[in-house]
Structure 1
Amino acid sequence: MKGQLATPHHSTYDVIIIGGAIMGSSAAWFLTQMPDFDGRVLVVERDPSYENSSTAHTNSCMRQQFSAELNVKISQFAADFVKNLPEHIGDARVPEQTIQNYGYMYLADTEAFAQTLRENQSVQLAAGAETQLMTPDQIAQNYPFYNVDDLVLGSINLKDEGYWDGGTVFDWWRRSAQDHGVEYISNEVVAITKNAAGTRVESITLASGEVVSCGQVVNASGPRANRTAAMAGLDIPVEPRKRFTWIFSAEQPLDRDLPLTIDPSGVHFRQDGPKTYLAGCPADPDPAVDFDDFHMDHSRWESHVWPIIATRIPQFEAIKVVTEWAGHYAFNTFDQNAVLGPHTEVENFIFLNGFSGHGLQQSPAMGRATAEWLTYGEYRALDLSPFNYARIPNNTPIIEKAVI
Structure 2
Amino acid sequence: MTGERSSFDVVIIGGAMIGSAVAWWLARDRDFDGSILVIERDPSFEFASTSHTNSCIRMQFGTKINVAISRFGLEFIGSFREFAGEDAPEIHLDDFGYLYLARDEPAADRLRTAQALQARMGAGTKLLSSGQLRAAFPFMRFDDVILGSHNPGEEGCFDGGTMFSEFRRRARKMGVEEARAEATGLRMAGGRVTHVELSDGSSVACGHVVNAAGPRAATVAAMAGIVLPVEPRKRYTFIFEAEDKLPRRLPLTVDPCGIHYRTDGGLYMAGCPPETDGPCDAEDFEMDHAIWEERVWPALAERIPAFERIRLRNSWVGHYAYNTLDQNALLGLHPGCDNLLFANGFSGHGLQQAPAVGRGIAEHIIHGGWRSLDLSPLSVARLVEGAPLTEAAVI
TM tier, shorter chain?
A: over 0.9
Q: Partners of 1:46 and 1:401 in 2: how far apart?
A: 32
Which amino acid in the other structure matches residue 126 of structure 2?
Q
CA offset at residue 96 of structure 1?
A: 1.4
Q: Partners of 1:158 and 1:370 in 2: how far apart?
A: 31
Contact 1:7/1:208 (CA < 8 Å) preserved in 2?
no
Contact 2:98/2:151 (CA < 8 Å) preserved in 1?
yes
Q: Deviations over 1:365-399 (max 9, x none)?
A: 00000001011110000000111111012110112
Describe how 1:272-351 pairs up with structure 2 within 5 A.
272-274=264-266, 276-351=267-342
Q: Partners of 2:55 and 2:245 in 1: how far apart?
A: 22
CA 250–151 in structure 1, closer or farther in 2 if over 3 Å, else same: same
Higher mean Cα deviation, 226-235 or 378-387?
A: 226-235
Q: TM-score, normalised by structure 1?
A: 0.96
Q: Deviations over 1:45-94 (max 9, x none)?
A: 000000000000000010001111110110111111111112211141x2
SS at match of 1:96: coil
Q: Partners of 2:207 and 2:198 in 1: how far apart?
A: 16
Which amino acid in the other structure matches residue 221 of structure 1?
A
SS at match of 2:221: helix
Match of 1:217 in 2: 209
Q: Deviations over 1:318-337 (max 9, x none)?
A: 11110000000000000000
CA offset at residue 17 of structure 1?
A: 0.1
Match of 2:67 in 1: 72
Match of 2:14 in 1: 19
Identity rate, percent: 50
Which amino acid in the other structure matches residue 254 of structure 2?
I
Match of 1:193 in 2: 187
Match of 1:62 in 2: 57
Aligned-pair RMSD on alpha carbons? 0.9
SS at match of 1:114: helix
Which amino acid in the other structure matches residue 303 of structure 2?
R
Q: TM-score, normalised by structure 2?
A: 0.99
Contact 2:232/2:322 (CA < 8 Å) preserved in 1?
yes
Match of 1:228 in 2: 220
Contact 2:2/2:177 (CA < 8 Å) preserved in 1?
no
- Structure 2 gaps, min length 5: none
Which amino acid in the other structure matches residue 247 of structure 2?
D
Match of 1:3 in 2: none
Q: Deviations over 1:94-118 (max 9, x none)?
A: 2212211110000111111111111
Describe how 1:14-163 pairs up with structure 2 within 5 A.
14-92=9-87, 94-163=88-157
Contact 2:124/2:154 (CA < 8 Å) preserved in 1?
no
Describe how 1:243-282 pairs up with structure 2 within 5 A.
243-274=235-266, 276-282=267-273
Contact 2:216/2:232 (CA < 8 Å) preserved in 1?
yes
Q: Deviations over 1:124-182 (max 9, x none)?
A: 00000000111111111111111011110000001220010100000000011111111
Contact 2:333/2:342 (CA < 8 Å) preserved in 1?
yes
2:391 paired residue among 389, 395, 400? 400
Which amino acid in the other structure matches residue 327 of structure 1?
G
Q: Partners of 1:241 and 1:214 in 2: how far apart?
A: 31
Contact 1:248/1:323 (CA < 8 Å) preserved in 2?
yes
Q: Partners of 1:356 and 1:133 in 2: how far apart?
A: 25
Which amino acid in the other structure matches residue 237 of structure 2?
T
Match of 1:203 in 2: 195
Q: Partners of 1:285 and 1:149 in 2: how far apart?
A: 27
SS at match of 2:134: helix
